[in-house]
Amino acid sequence: MHNQSDGQVVADPGAESPLAVVGPAVEPPKRSRWRWFWMLLAFVAIADWILGTAVRLTIRDAGEIFTPVFYASPLPVLAITACVGAEALRKLGRKWSARLMFGLAAWQVLSWVPDAVHFRAEPLPQDSMRMVFWNVSRGAGGYPQLARKMLSYDPDLICLVEASGDGQLPETWQPHLPGFKVHRLGSGMMVMARGEVFGVEPGMIREVARYRNLRVKIRDKQFGLCLIDIRADPLLPRTLAFERLPNLLENFQREPKLLAGDFNTPPDSELFAHIRPEMQNAFDLKGQGYRETWPVFTPVLELDQVWGDRQIDFHACRHGWSLRSDHRPVIVDFSVK
The whole-angstrom distance between residue 94's C-alpha and the CA centroid of its chain comes to: 32
**Cβ atoms of 76 and 109 closer than 8 Å:** yes
Q: How confident is the model at residue 249 (pLDDT cuts 50, 70, 90)?
A: very high
- Residues 109 and 113: their CA atoms lie apart, in Å, by 6
* Residue 9 parent element (H or E): strand 9-10
Nearest in space to 194 (alpha carbons), one of 160, 166, 221: 221
Mean pLDDT of 301-314: 98
- Residues 325 and 164: their CA atoms lie apart, in Å, by 13
Per-residue confidence (pLDDT) for residue 235, from 0 to 100:
86
The yes-or-no verdict on residue 5 having pLDDT over 50 is no
**Cβ atoms of 60 and 68 closer than 8 Å:** no
- Residues 73 and 55: their CA atoms lie apart, in Å, by 9
Q: Report pLDDT digits (tens) over 73-123.
A: 999 999 999 999 999 999 999 999 999 999 999 999 999 999 999 999 999
Task: Give the domain ranges of the chain.
Answer: 35-117, 122-336
Per-residue confidence (pLDDT) for residue 9, from 0 to 100:
46
DSSP one-letter string for 43-109: HHHHHHHHHHHHHHHTTTTSSGGGHHHHHT--HHHHHHHHHHHHHHHHHTT-HHHHHHHHHHHHHHH
Q: Report pLDDT digits (tens) over 266-300.
A: 999 999 999 999 999 999 999 999 999 999 999 99
Per-residue confidence (pLDDT) for residue 234, from 0 to 100:
85
The yes-or-no verdict on residue 35 having pLDDT over 80 is yes
Average pLDDT, the chain: 92
Per-residue confidence (pLDDT) for residue 255, from 0 to 100:
96
Per-residue confidence (pLDDT) for residue 94, from 0 to 100:
95
Q: pLDDT over 90 for what percent of the chain?
A: 86
Q: What CATH topology corresponds to 122-336?
A: Deoxyribonuclease I; Chain A (3.60.10)
**Cβ atoms of 89 and 101 closer than 8 Å:** yes
The yes-or-no verdict on residue 167 having pLDDT over 90 is yes
